[in-house]
Amino acid sequence: MTIKNVIKQFIHTELLYEKENIRLDDTTQLLDTGILDSLGIMTLLPFLEQTFFIRVSEGELIPENFESVNAISLLVEKKTKS
């Protein structure tokens, strides 16, 4: 499974409860739509770090890196390559 699909599946199963009306694609705005709220970010970060063996640094904790599945995938790809 690609990084993008792993992330998408996690968001689908863990964060889309009671948000069934939102259609999730690679560019869906996760922060603006509230898919990634406080608890969502707190759940997603440990998932990313444990699944992909990365550490997201303080400087990378910015909205641009979490605004869509595409953005999160890019961040993970960058981290796994470095």
Partner 1 sequence: MDFSLNEEQVILKNSIIEFATHELNSDLINRDQQGEFIWENWKKCSDMGLSGLPIPKEYGGAGAELSSALICIEALGYGCKDSGLVHALITQTCCGVQLLLFGSDFQKQEHLFGIASGKKIAAQAFTEPDAGSDVGSMNAKVEKVKDKYILNGSKIFISNGPIADLAIVSAVMEESQRKGYGKISCFLVEKGTKGFFREKPLEKMGLRTLQNGELIFEECEVPEDHLIGKEGQGLFMFHEVIEWERALMSACHLGIMGRILEACIRYAKNRHQFGKPIGKFQSVSNKIAEMKVNIELGRLMLYKAGWLKDQKKRALLETSISKLFISESLKRACLEAIQIHGAYGYMKEFEIERELRDSIASTIYSGTSEIQKNIISGLVGL
Span from 1-9, 20-28, 37-45, 71-79 in contact with partner 1 (CB under 8 A):
37-45
Build a one-symbol-per-residue string for 40-69: x at contacts with partner 1 by CB under 8 A, - elsewhere.
Answer: xxxx-xx--x-----x--x--xxx--xx--
Q: How far is the CB of 28 from partner 1 (least distance, A)?
A: 13
DSSP codes joined into one string, 15-40: I-TT-TTSPP-TT--TTTTTSS-HHH
Nearest to 74 by CA among 50, 48, 41: 48
CB of 77 to partner 1, least distance (A): 20
Is 39 a binding residue for partner 1 by CB under 8 A? The answer is: yes
